Structure 1
Amino acid sequence: MRLLHTADWHLGRSLGGHSLHEDQAELLAMQLPAIIRDTAPDAVLLAGDVFDRAVPPAESVRLLDEVLSEIVLRHGIPVIVIPGNHDEARRVGFGARLLAAARLHIVQSPCGEAIPLQGRDGSSATILACGYATPLALSREPSLAGAQFADHDGAFAALAPLLHALCPASGPRVLVAHAFVAGGAESPMSERALSVGGTGAIGADRFTGFDYVALGHLHRPQNLLGGRLRYSGSLFPYSVEEADHAKSVTLVDLAADGTRQIEEIPLSPRRGLRVLTGSFAALRETEGPAREDYVALVLTDPTPVPEAQRRLAEIFPRIVGLRYAAERAGSGAFAPAGAAARVARPLDLFGRFHAEMRGAPLPGEARPVLIAAIEAAEAAGH
């Protein structure tokens, strides 16, 4: 069984105020179909964050339609899609029951769906696709009888047996999920926090019994547990801290006994993202492809240069950030607006408020109630 695993497309994303639509279209409408022709997978797995926001631009919706139509209709390859934390699941999943007949499987439910898959070589496997599962969403599922969970780890501990119960007794099991697994390498400026108060991590041991876990959320391609858990990473470097990432999709060959071989298939964006360091005068003399890339500039001049960014934009039309090397680390313009405010998460702020007003820490039994209230407010866009 051969699977192509991808995630975190973030269609509709911009970088430093510059639309990435053309770059995403190059990767998805040109490079991805070529990879599919060359590798002939039995299915494509898209592990969430299809769009960058709940209401994506119309051009991003059209691009997704074109890409999925190319894979499913022209190449005859089934695609399994789940929403991530950036997606609005009901929008992504519109028409899912109709589309499943054409082998485009869009799974919204946090309690998952089992999709039997037959390989071209006669092999078989069960794909368990699980929509983005917050503790609040799971607590509303009838199968969990209104249970409340203190964190994502506890929620997934209750969910895992339900997922396994959907599978036949034998054969490989592949899980498609969008989550932060403890031990994964984060890119905090790119990845929206999955929780409040640091409660979003799921222990890797919760995934026992799955032969391959196709994960989305973390943008750096990486393996956990020897490759049994895998983040394929994002399509494109979506923040300056991703400038050194080698972007790829993941090809997985899964044997009947559950053993797997993993290969990274590189992606080559039409424009890169790079950090350039030098004096104002030296940067003005830059030649070559760097002038067309997205660039974050670090000026080594001892004092600020008047109108530096405007003047450098004559050389670099896609500047995504500028700071001076003499500035304190982390204080420059590379951080997106509002990043400092996100350091103190709502649960932490409320805990401090409670301690100050009541003279005692927040009671443990209050945490699930407060987390549910905060996540409900965030889901409503407040």
Structure 2
Amino acid sequence: MRLLHTADWHLGRALCGQSFHAEQERLLTGAFLDILRETRPDAVLLAGDVYDRALPPADSVELLDDVLQRIVRGLGIPVVMIAGNHDDERRLAFGARLLRPSGLHICDSAMGCAFPFEDAHGPVSILAAGYGTPALLANLFGAEAGITTHDAGFAAVTAHLRGLAPAGARTVVVAHAFISGGLTSESERMLQVGGSGAVSAAHLAGFHYTALGHLHRRQSMAEGRIAYSGSPLAYSFAEAGGTKSVTLVELDAAGNVTAEDIPLTPRHKLRVLRGTLAEVLAMADDPGREDWLQVILTDRQLGAKALLQERYPFVLELRFESPLAMGEAGATPGARIPQDPLEALMAFRAAIGAGDLDGEERAAAIQAISAAMRAEP
């Protein structure tokens, strides 16, 4: 059986105010569909974070509708799709039961769903489970399950998925999670305030292949049986220069897996330019002038932004790295800004000499940050 694994489309995403919509539309209705026409997989596995937020823009909803229609009806290729931590599962799964006969299989439960497939060697059970917080999974599985962490919730979900698979079938899991040991990037939203929200890969033992979403770098574990396809586009400058792809997976009669990464090339690459203003302006004659740029200047000159924009059409972010004068107040240039909001708060308090939070203050901070993240548009 051939499966095309993709994830983390993040429809509706923007970077420094620049919308990715045109880039996503060009890629998904162009190169991505061309790959499907050439490889003819038995199914597409879309492993969550389909949208960038719970209430996506109307044009993102229209784009998803168009792409899925072209895949399922136009090419006759079934799609298995789950919600990620950026999606609202209830909205994403609207009409799921009505759409399944047409070939669009949307998992409408964080506990998981089983979708039966078959090839020349027999049955293949695709076991899909959308992202669920520990609180949601504790409610679904009941108090007796004792779910208080992401790891405990993931253990309950994978045990449930095992029970859904028919005896003798090869099994493929589609899930959205942070597997312990995975390589992160700055463009991913933390699953847990004050911690990683990581889960153990041991819970996936016995499944023939696990198609994961959440981490934006292509990577695999357990000799390729557990894999992230990565996002189809680079969504932060921390990913500049990396290669993006989708993963074509072949499952043989015994459930052994071979995988091939098929590269995706964006119209506008993300690129970081660093140097003096004169040095950066001199680079404008090089290929890639229309890349989306983060410019880091090592000197300070009045009107630098205007001069750069005369030579480069897409300067999305301008930073300065010139040394601070002796005794000048301010943060250390180039210092890393923590990704975890709680870590950022602690770093700020340390910088102003406010000291550590006590237990009650830390709990209040986590509650406030979590509420803000849930309300994030």
Matched ranges for 1:281-296 at <5 A: 281-285=278-282, 286-296=284-294
Aligned to 2:152: 154
What is the identity, as a one-letter code, of the residue corresponding to 2:50? V
What is the identity, as a one-letter code, of the residue corresponding to 1:234? S
Deviations 1:88-145 (A, max 9, x none): 11111111111111010111311100001123x454310001011211110111x444
Aligned to 1:128: 127
Deviations 1:48-69 (A, max 9, x none): 0001111111111111111100
Matched ranges for 1:86-101 at <5 A: 86-101=86-101
CA distance in 2, matches of 1:90, 1:27: 27
- Deviation, 1:282, is 2.5
Aligned to 2:201: 204
1:24 counterpart = 2:21: no
- Deviation, 1:320, is 2.5
Aligned to 2:161: 163
Number of aligned residue pairs: give it: 362
Aligned to 1:176: 174
TM-score, with structure 1 as normaliser: 0.87
- Deviation, 1:317, is 2.2
Deviations 1:271-298 (A, max 9, x none): 1111112321232231244221101112
What is the identity, as a one-letter code, of the residue corresponding to 1:152? H
Unaligned runs of 5+ in 2: 325-330, 350-355
Aligned to 1:269: 266
What is the identity, as a one-letter code, of the residue corresponding to 1:177? A
CA distance in 2, matches of 1:101, 1:330: 58
Equivalent of 1:313 in 309, 312, 315: 309
CA distance in 1, matches of 2:83, 2:188: 15
1:245 counterpart = 2:233: no
CA contact (8 A) 1:139 1:149 kept: yes
CA distance in 2, matches of 1:377, 1:287: 44
**DSSP 3-state at the match of 2:285:** coil
CA distance in 1, matches of 2:192, 2:47: 18
Deviations 1:137-177 (A, max 9, x none): 10111x44464423111111222211100001112111000
Deviations 1:208-259 (A, max 9, x none): 1111110000000001111111000001110011012200000000112111
CA contact (8 A) 2:208 2:225 kept: yes
**DSSP 3-state at the match of 1:53:** coil
Matched ranges for 1:1-382 at <5 A: 1-119=1-119, 121=120, 123-141=122-140, 143-145=141-143, 147-187=145-185, 189-285=186-282, 286-301=284-299, 304-326=300-322, 331-332=333-334, 341-344=341-344, 353-355=357-359, 378-379=373-374
What is the identity, as a one-letter code, of the residue corresponding to 2:126? I
CA contact (8 A) 1:240 1:334 kept: no
CA distance in 1, matches of 2:17, 2:335: 13
CA contact (8 A) 2:190 2:340 kept: no
The 1:341–1:243 alpha-carbon spacing in structure 2 relative to 1, beyond 3 Å, is same
The 1:331–1:249 alpha-carbon spacing in structure 2 relative to 1, beyond 3 Å, is farther
- Deviation, 1:334, is 9.6
CA contact (8 A) 2:322 2:333 kept: no
CA distance in 1, matches of 2:52, 2:312: 25
Unaligned runs of 5+ in 1: none
TM-score, with structure 2 as normaliser: 0.88
CA contact (8 A) 1:152 1:199 kept: no
- Deviation, 1:339, is 5.1
The 1:381–1:295 alpha-carbon spacing in structure 2 relative to 1, beyond 3 Å, is closer
- Deviation, 1:13, is 0.6
Identity of aligned residues (%): 49
- Deviation, 1:23, is 0.8
